Structure 1
């Protein structure tokens, strides 16, 4: 799963903004990695004033994004570069174009350390994963637990 935590200044985004950004993030994984939509989780954390510090100083105009990739790994440096370019493009209307300072990083977790609905996710690009994408939910299958 791609799991995103987005730390933002309090009231930086409306509920509509959050939904649009979550949809933009989801589209990255659906369009470029063929992942089921439900794999993508986005958590917004509104930070009250004087709770985020950069360089020891309050950073009340700062958006920090932490991403964890599990469903796919990126071993190729060019793929990593392209991924970061797409992410920056999708984020731009929500950070850059609104005048926020921002930072984003990606960690990658081994797929065998992940379960969803208690099931082992199917192998990437498998027929079962395609079924999960079509159904937009985890579907039990033999060998999934």
Structure 2
């Protein structure tokens, strides 16, 4: 999930669509995740509501990312992830003259359900089916213990 806090009017509908599509493409095309795993929320902030260092920052975009389906578990992969996301954001942030900041949180996968289902294990046939269907569905072995067994 990406939460993009931006000045009011920074992104029109076409911009939001294009921005969310390139974000989704990173996860779906490069990581093989189902497209519906990617949620992008644009939070427009009126002038005078974003402050950085005690000063108004009306030209500032803040991106907060919450990863659940995958964890970025090595320093090299973390660096690559940040570089990839900075490049993904560049046309929508840097190239438009905005100041920006980005960070990623990682929620333990055990604290996640989608449409009431425990998501299938990473890169499993069930996850590939979810990606092909672009929808969550019941799958054999979806007990919560699947996750604890897999990551124990």
Match of 2:3 in 1: 5
1:17 pairs with 2:37: no
2-side partners of 1:9 and 1:117: how far apart? Answer: 32
Structure 1 position 144, deviation (Å): 2.6
Length-normalised TM-score, structure 1: 0.96
Equivalent position to 2:118, from 93, 117, 120: 120
Structure 1 position 31, deviation (Å): 2.0
2-side partners of 1:46 and 1:24: how far apart? Answer: 19
Q: Kindly report the root-mean-square deviation, in angstroms, between the aligned alpha carbons of the 2 structures.
A: 0.8
* Unaligned residue ranges in structure 2 (runs of 5+): 144-152
2-side partners of 1:77 and 1:22: how far apart? Answer: 26
Equivalent position to 2:78, from 80, 95, 98: 80
Count of paired positions: 143
2-side partners of 1:33 and 1:79: how far apart? Answer: 13
Can you list the C-alpha shifts for 1:80-128, whole angstroms capped at 9, x where unaligned? 1111111011100000000000000000011111000000000000000
Structure 1 residue runs of 4+, over 4 Å off? none
